[in-house]
Amino acid sequence: MTERRLSPETLAAQALGHVDGATGALIPSIHPSTTYERDADTGYSRGRVYARADNPTFDTPADLLTRLEGGAESLLFSSGMAAATAVFLALAPGDHVLAPRVMYWALRGWLLDFATRWGIEVELVDTSDLDALAAAVRPGRTRLIWLETPANPTWEVADIAAVADIARAAGARLAVDSTVATPVLTRPLELGADLVMHSATKYLNGHTDVVAGTLTCAQRDDSWARIAAVQRQNGAILGPFEAWLLQRGMRTLYPRLRWQCASAAALAERLAAHPRVAEVLYPGLASHPGHAIARRQMQGGFGGMLSVRVAGGREAAIATAARVRLWTRATSLGGVESLIEHRASIEGPTSPVPDDLLRLSVGLESAEDLWDDLATALG
């Protein structure tokens, strides 16, 4: 190849294209070893000491993600929650952080409970309202702004570049949960974010068979070193088998996501015209409040996630989900099979989610089959 930078599709398909020097194997090996041989002079000339700190099986998925995100380094965690909470645990008690009002519910719960009791001052704001966000920032005290875009489960869109300006002016760092956008659609570090987080359980792995999380940094600075220490010391690491499955899943990320975007967009249009649907929430629809920013910030699609507010309220929504045959009633998202979920009943009474909302994760089935099933279930 020439010097031209390879496309992300190529990097992902070949998982960076390394061939094992000793065996010629195209596929990286799984290394279950927990420990590494020490030199006679007490050193570790081969660089690895103990598998809580690192494992060669992490290298391919971590390095591939770093390239896809355009970052400096990535770490793999035992779950998306382990990755996200490591960012907050690397702060100090007394630090002020801003997080979205609408966000992944388990992380919101952890911030309001554990992180708050631990001494972090958590303030929830409407992160799609830049004036509100700028007003909530406390220069010198706000250490971190956390964004999720598009945000679960109403798919509100935050303007990463504009929030990065606000964060930089206040001396705060910006972290983005980009689980739903993936590097296929949005590269937060190029828009000025310091950190990007994924629940790799979702699109990165994509096959509903690994729980994993990732963080990627723009720069390997002191703050990144603290996050890496939290991971290492708390042991929030991925297992070697899961890391291996993750690199396998990531190879098909681009074609999977593009197919899912196309199907989600087609379903959103058709659902919006259905008489039993009160509202469709999808950033690709011109009616969505985040559409204009999404058009700028998301390249080549608006994601594979959408939500439907069913006419007739909570009971009608639950009855619709009860009637599907092809979609599966289950939580989670980003897999090859399509899932449907009544969101309010899993998030509980403190949830800001409307109780007539069904969240749809669009898989790789035929969009026509998915539509027929939904249209029948809506009645």
Ligand X SMILES: *Cc1c(COP(=O)(O)O)cnc(C)c1O
Interacting residues toward ligand X by CB under 6 A: 79-81, 104, 107, 148, 152, 177, 179-180, 199, 201-202, 211, 213, 333
Do the Cβ atoms of 299 and 353 come closer than 8 Å? no
Q: Quick one: 79 or 223, whose CB is closer to ligand X? A: 79
Q: Give the active site residue among 104, 203, 254, 282.
A: 104
Which H/E stretch holds residue 184?
helix 182-185
Q: Give the active site residue among 52, 232, 258, 314.
A: 52
Q: Over 316-358, what HEC string results?
A: HHHHHHHHCCCCEECCCCCCCCCEEEECHHHHCCCCCCCCCEE
What is the 8-class DSSP label of residue 11? H
**Residue 254 designated active-site:** no
Q: Give the active site residue among 143, 173, 202, 256.
A: 202
Q: Quick one: 301 or 304, whose CB is closer to ligand X? A: 304
- Any alpha helices (H) in 220-366, and if so which ranges? 222-234, 240-250, 253-272, 291-297, 313-323, 344-347
Q: Give the active site residue among 177, 194, 356, 373.
A: 177
CA dist 105 and 78 (Å) reads: 18
Q: Quick one: 183 or 213, whose CB is closer to ligand X? A: 213
In angstroms, what is the minimal distance from the CB of 75 to ligand X?
Answer: 14
3-class secondary structure, 153: coil
In angstroms, what is the minimal distance from the CB of 312 to ligand X?
Answer: 27
CA dist 250 and 10 (Å) reads: 12
Q: Quick one: 51 or 238, whose CB is closer to ligand X? A: 238
In angstroms, what is the minimal distance from the CB of 355 to ligand X?
Answer: 20
In angstroms, what is the minimal distance from the CB of 113 to ligand X?
Answer: 16
Q: Quick one: 58 or 377, whose CB is closer to ligand X? A: 58
What is the 8-class DSSP label of residue 35? B
In angstroms, what is the minimal distance from the CB of 120 to ligand X?
Answer: 18
Q: Which of 165, 95, 159 is nearest to 126 (CA)?
A: 159
2: which residues sit within 8 A by CB, 6+ positions away? none
Do the Cβ atoms of 275 and 293 come closer than 8 Å? no
Cβ-proximal residue to ligand X, closest one: 80
- Alpha carbon of residue 267 to chain centroid: 22
**Residue 168 designated active-site:** no
Q: Quick one: 28 or 213, whose CB is closer to ligand X? A: 213
**Residue 104 designated active-site:** yes
**Residue 202 designated active-site:** yes
Give exposure, 26-40, as e/b (b: 16+ Cβ within 10 Å): eebeebeeeebeeee
In angstroms, what is the minimal distance from the CB of 81 to ligand X?
Answer: 4
Active site residues: 52, 104, 177, 202
